[in-house]
A and B are shown apart, each in its own frame.
Chain A
Amino acid sequence: MALDTIAPLAEETRPTRVRESQLHLMWRRFRRHQLAFVSLWIVVAFYLVAVFAEFLAPTDPGAYSARYTYAPPQGIHFFVSDENGWHFQPHVNGYTTEIDRKAMRRTFVVDSEVVIPVRFFAPSEPYLLAGFIPMSIKFIGVENPRDPFYILGADRLGRDMLSRLIHGTRISLSVGLAGVTLSLFFGIIIGGFAGFYGGWFDGAVMRVVEFIRSMPTIPLWMGLAAAMPKDWSALQTYFAITIILSLIGWTELARVVRGRFLSLRTEDFVTAAQLDGASDWRIITRHMVPSFSSHIIAAATLAIPGMILAETALSFLGLGLQAPIVSWGTLLQEAQNIRTLATAPWLLAPGICVVVVILSLNFFGDGLRDAADPHGR
C-alpha cells in the first residue's frame, strides 16, 4: 500500500544505465577537476615524447663527444645582428673550451661570436622511429652535427642530456605502464575471483597478499635481481624488472578489485543477472567490471608512479636497469654524487622529470578517483 507501487521510481534497469552513464558522468565530473585535467595533458605529452623519442631527440643518446664533457646548457637565442641590423635566426653559441690540468676539468666559456644556427626538422642520418618507421629528419637540430648543441648541457662523456632524457622517458614510462598492466592483469584475475567467490579462496588470496605486503620489498627485489641469469640482455633484464615490480604491485590492485567485487556481489543487478542464468564469467565481465571500471582506472593510474619510483630506486641500488640502458633511474644513478650536485646541476634534470610526471599522474589518478566516486560532490 505504498505510493511507490503507483509512482514508478527511477530504480529499475540499473546495469545498462550504470555502464554507459557512469563513465560518461565520471568524465563530466573529471573535467571539473582542473588540476587533474591539466595533469592529464601533461601525462599525455610525456607519453608522446616517449613514443617519438628518436624524432624529438637531437642526437643519439649514446653519442659522446670528448671535447664537451660536462658542457653547461646553451641558451637558445633568436636574433643575430649583422651589418644590416638584427634579423631572426634561432641559434646557440659555441663554447671555447680548455682543459685545466691541475683541477682536471674542462672549462667552458660561451663564445657569442660563434653562431650555430638551429633549425627545426633538421636532416639527420637515417634512423628507425619506434624501431620500424624509417626517417631521416629530427624535430630540432643544428646544420653541422659536429657543432655542439646542448640545450640541457652534456654529461660526463659529453653526451647530450636532452637526448638522453627523452630516450630515458621512453624506458621509464613504459616500465611503469608495462608493470601496471601486468599487475592489473594479476590483480583483476586474482582479486576478482577472490571477491566473487569469496570463501576459502578469498581467504587464501588475502593471506598471500597480506604476506607479500608484510615483506620489506627491497630485499625481495635484491634477491630476485641477484638471481637473474647472468647472460641476460638489456631487454630481458628490462622485462624481468617489470615483472619483478609487478610481483609486488598486483597486491594493491587485487585488494581494490576484491573490495569492489565484495560490495557489488550482493547488488540487485548482479543477482538479477544471476537469476537470468548468466554465466559467472559473463556477469564479471559484462556487469561487474564495467560498473567499477572507473575505480580500476583510477587505481591503476595511481599505481604507475610507484612503479617509476621503484625503477629509479632499483637502479640506485645498482640492481634493476643498468647503463648503457638509458632510463630516468640510470640517469639519476649517474647523477648520484657530490660532483654533479656541485658542478653540473643540469644533470639532475631527470629528477625534475620524475617529480613532474609522478605529480601529474597522481593528480590525474586522484581526479579520476574523485570522479569515479558515485556521489562525487
Chain B
Amino acid sequence: MLRFAINRLIAMVLILWAVSFVAFAIIQLPPGDYLTTYVATLSANGDRVDPAAIDALRRQYGFGEPYIVQYWKWITGILLRGDFGQSFEWKAQVTDLIWGRLGNSILVEGLAVILTWLVALPIGIYSAVRKYSLGDYLATVGGFIGLAIPNFFFALILMYLSFVWFGANIGGLFSPEFENARWSLPRIWDFVSHAWAPILVLSLSGTAELIRILRANLLDELKKPYVTTARAKGLSEFRTIIKYPVRVALNPLVSTLGWLLPALVSSSVIVSVVLNLPTAGPMLLRSLTSQDMYLAGAIILLLGVLTVIGTLVSDLLLAWLDPRIRYGGK
C-alpha cells in the first residue's frame, strides 16, 4: 500500500509540474499583455496615457522577459514564498483574491459530487439488476435528459422560473443579509435555498454519466461466477448483489472521480457566471479575457492541483477498495 501511495505521489508531483507549466503557457498564449488591455480601457474612457508610465509598469511587472525566466520567477515565488504574484487588474496580491472564491468552488463542487453519488448509486444498481425493466428505462431516460440539457441553459431557466414563480432570486450563494454573517441555522438555510440550484445543475450531467457507467460495470459483474458462488452460499439476492458485484463494480467508479472533478470545475465556470456564484470560475473567465495573467495562472494552477489531488485521492481510495491494485502496486 505504502509503496503504491508513494508511486502515485511521485506521479502526481510530475503531473502538477506539467500542469503549472501548461497553465503558464496558456495564459501566455494570447497576443499582447495585460497592459495593452489596461491602456485600451483607459483610452476608451477618454483618459490620457503616458507611454513612459506604461513602460515603467511593464518593467515592474517583468513583462517582455523570456518565457522561461517569467515562469521560473513565478513558480519559485509560489513554491518558496507561497506568493502567486500580483493581479494587475485588481492591483492586489493574488493570494488575497483567490482563497475565498476557491473555497466556494470546492464547497459547491464537493456538494455536487456528493449529490451525484447519492443519486447515481441506487439508480444505477436498480437499472442494472432490473435490466430493461420500466424502472430501468425511466432511470436511463431521466439520466440522459440530465445529460442532454446544456447546464448554463438549465441554470438560466431555473433562475427565471424561480423568479416568476416565487419572486425569489436564487443567484449567488447567500442573500445580502446573510452575506457576511457568521454560520448559523438560518444562514445555512439561506445557503441551501440559494445553493440548491447550482448544485442541482452541476450534478445533473455527472449523475447521468455515473448511472451509465455503474450500470455497465454491474452488468458485467453480475455474470461473473462468484455471484453464483455467493448465491450458492444461501445469501439473499439483495445481500448477494450488494456485497459482491456492486462492491466490485464500485472500484472503476471510484476512479471516475478523476474525470468527474475537472468536468465539474469546467461546467461550474459557466454555471457560476449565469448564477453569479462567488466561485473561482467567473474570476478566471474575467482574468483570462483581461490577460490578468498571474491571477489566471494561479486559478488554473490551483484548479489543476485540486483535480489532480482529487484523482490521487480516488486512486488511493481505489487501491484501498481493490486489493488487486493495492498489491499489484501499479
Is any CB of A less than 8 Å from a CB of B in the complex? yes
How far apart are the CA atoms of A216 and B27 in the complex, in Å? 14
Q: Is the CB of B258 within 8 A of A222?
A: no
Check: B22 CB closer than 8 A to any chain A CB: yes
Query: Residue of B at shortest CB range from A354?
Result: B150
Nearest CB of A to B165, in Å: 13
Residues of A within 8 A of B149 (CB): 351, 354-355
Q: What is the bound-complex CA distance between A216 and B302, given in angstroms?
A: 10
Question: Do the beta carbons of B144 and A342 come within 8 Å of each other?
Answer: no
Looking at chain B's contact residues, is the secondary structure mostly helix, strand, loop, or mixed?
helix
Residues in B55-106 with C-beta less than 8 Å from chain A: none
Contacts of B9 in A (CB 8 A): none
Taken residue by residue from 304 to 319, chain B's Cβ proximity to chain A (1 for < 8 Å, 0 otherwise) reads as: 1001100100000000
Contact status B148-A362, CB under 8 Å: yes
Whose C-beta in chain B lies nearest to the C-beta of A369? B216
**Hey, which chain A residues are within 8 Å of B147, CB to CB?**
305, 358, 362
For the complex, is B29 an interface residue (Cβ under 8 Å from A)?
A: yes
B304 engages A215 (CB within 8 Å): yes
Q: Quick check: is A143 within 8 A (CB to CB) of the other chain? A: no
Interface residues of A in 343-377 (CB under 8 A from B): 351, 354-356, 358-359, 362-363, 366, 369, 373, 375, 377
User: Given A227-B29, A342-B160: A210 and B15 within 8 A (CB)?
Assistant: yes
Say yes or no for A6: interface residue by CB 8 A criterion. Answer: no
Least distance between A59 CB and chain B CB atoms (Å): 26
Chain B nearest CB from A350 CB (Å) reads 9
B263 (CB) vs chain A CBs: closest residue: A217
> What residue in chain B is nearest A311 (Cβ atoms)?
B150
> Are A313 and B148 also in contact (CB < 8 A) when A207-B11, A227-B30 are?
no
B267 contacts which chain A residues (CB < 8 A)? 313
In the complex, per-residue mask of B97-130: 1 if CB is within 8 Å of any chain A CB, else 0: 0000000000000000000000000000000000
- CB contact under 8 A between A219 and B140, given known A211-B18, A359-B145: no
Q: Is B157 located at the chain interface by the 8 A CB criterion? A: yes
Do A214 and B160 touch (CB < 8 A)? no
Q: A214 and B29 in contact (CB under 8 A), knowing A223-B288, A341-B156, A366-B140?
A: no
Q: Is A48 an interface residue (CB 8 A)?
A: no
Q: Are B160 and A312 in contact (CB under 8 A)?
A: no
Q: Quick check: is A213 within 8 A (CB to CB) of the other chain?
A: yes
Contact B288 A219 (CB under 8 A): yes
A218 at the interface (CB under 8 A from B): yes
Q: A223-B27, A227-B29 are in contact. Are A215 and B19 (CB under 8 A)?
A: yes
Indicate the size class of the contact surface on chain B. 35 or more
Q: Are the C-beta atoms of A214 and B150 separated by less than 8 Å?
A: no
A215 interface neighbour in B152, B262, B296, Cβ under 8 Å: B262
Could you tell me if A354 and B148 are in contact, using CB atoms closer than 8 angstroms?
A: yes
Interface string of A159-172 (1 = CB under 8 A from B): 00000000000000
Query: Are B262 and A223 neighbours in the complex by a CB distance under 8 Å?
Result: no
- Return chain A residues, CB-CB under 8 Å to B170: none
Contact across chains for A217 and B262 when beta carbons are under 8 A apart? yes
How many residues on the A side are at the interface (Cβ–Cβ under 8 A)? 41
Interface residues of B in 263-289 (CB under 8 A from A): 263, 265-267, 269-270, 284-285, 288-289
Q: Find chain A residues with CB under 8 A from B29 CB.
A: 223-224, 226-227
Q: Chain A residues near B156: list those with CB within 8 A.
A: 336, 341
B153 adjacent to A351 (CB under 8 Å):
yes
Q: Pick the most buried of B29, B30, B153, B299: most chain A CB atoms within 10 A of its CB.
A: B153
B137 interface contact, C-beta 8 A: yes
Please name the residue on chain A nearest to B140 by beta carbon: A366
Chain B's nearest CB lies how many Å from the CB of A329? Answer: 9
Tell me, in angstroms, the Cα distance from A377 to B288 when the chains sit together.
50
Does B26 count as interface, using CB distance less than 8 angstroms?
Answer: yes
Knowing A223-B27, A223-B30 are in contact, say whether A214-B19 is a contact too (CB < 8 A). yes
Give the complex CA separation of A124 and B19 in angstroms: 55
Q: Let me know if B327 is at the binding interface, CB within 8 A.
A: no
Contact check, B30 vs A226: say whether CB atoms are below 8 A apart: yes
Give complex CA distance A23, B8 in Å.
40
CA distance A161 to B159 in the complex (A): 25
Complexed CA–CA distance, A343 and B223 (Å): 54
Measured between alpha carbons, how far is A373 from B18 in the docked complex, in Å? Answer: 37
| Residues of chain A with a CB closer than 8 A to B22's CB | 215
Flag whether B194 is at the interface (Cβ < 8 A): no
What chain B residues lie within 8 Å of A213 (beta carbons)?
Answer: 258-259, 262
Contact status A373-B219, CB under 8 Å:
yes
Asked if A40 is at the interface (CB within 8 A of a chain B CB), the reply is: no
Q: List the B side residues contacting A309 at CB < 8 Å.
A: 150
B201 at the interface (CB under 8 A from A): no
Tell whether A359 pairs with B148 under 8 Å between CB atoms, given A214-B304, A216-B300, A222-B288: yes
A contact residues around B216 at 8 Å (CB):
369
Does A220 belong to the interface (CB within 8 Å)?
A: yes
Q: Which residues of chain B come closer than 8 Å to A53, judged between CB atoms?
A: none
Indicate whether A307 reaches chain B with its CB closer than 8 angstroms. Answer: no
The reply to whether A366 and B212 form a contact with Cβ atoms under 8 Å apart is yes
Q: Which of B140, B220, B266 has the most CB of A within 10 A?
A: B266
Residues of B within 8 A of A64 (CB): none
**A80 sits at the interface (CB 8 A):** no
Q: Which of B137, B145, B266 contacts A217 (CB 8 A)?
A: B266
Q: Which 5 A-B pairs have the closest CB atoms?
A: A223-B26, A358-B148, A227-B29, A226-B30, A216-B265
Q: What are 10 residue pairs bridging A and B, where the CB atoms are less than 8 Å apart in the complex?
A: A35-B141, A213-B259, A214-B308, A215-B22, A218-B270, A223-B30, A305-B148, A312-B150, A332-B150, A358-B148
Residues of A at under 8 Å CB distance from B?
35, 207, 210-211, 213-220, 222-224, 226-227, 305, 309, 312-313, 316-317, 332, 336, 338, 341-342, 351, 354-356, 358-359, 362-363, 366, 369, 373, 375, 377
